[in-house]
A and B are shown apart, each in its own frame.
Chain A
Amino acid sequence: GAVVSQHPSWVICKSGTSVKIECRSLDFQATTMFWYRQFPKQSLMLMATSNEGSKATYEQGVEKDKFLINHASLTLSTLTVTSAHPEDSSFYICSARETGEDTQYFGPGTRLTVL
């Protein structure tokens, strides 16, 4: 079945550094990928929608210069948290949707801790 991987699973970094998170669809081509953020004991918050070969669409309140998204191929999207600060610490989850399909397949998530 459809598998989505994320790398890394967890990362700890110093304040001010940038962190890149990769999201890959392993056995299907994902025209659209989504990036979510989840705080403890809360639901998912959609950050942005990423379409292969075009600029990402960010949800209201999400800083596009802070969270850089690149969807360079049909199997890979990256999220870069630039100049990370402790308030950026969170669980980041990506999902991928195959063209024509209604179901999204989720990666296992990346836990980011900014010291």
Chain B
Amino acid sequence: EPEVTQTPSHQVTQMGQEVILRCVPISNHLYFYWYRQILGQKVEFLVSFYNNEISEKSEIFDDQFSVERPDGSNFTLKIRSTKLEDSAMYFCASKGQVMTNQPQHFGDGTRLSIL
């Protein structure tokens, strides 16, 4: 069964440094998402991406964050100047069709640790 893959599984970065989290969505999917889960808290929506542009973003997704689909397969989340509070699990998800009722499929996440 096709799956969403995320790399790296664990990223350790110094505060203030830039970090890029990578995702390969399921190949024929059109709609892409990033979520985060701070330890012990709920899964929080960050951003959705469709047709090469951001569709919706939450208040968490401030100017420090950006997303990109640099080629036909990768979907990346960049944090420009990391803060301690950015430490969390970051999940990528994808969905086949835009407006139909379909589940999103998730990767296993990247654990981001900011020192």
Task: Tell me, yes or no, whether A binds B.
Answer: no
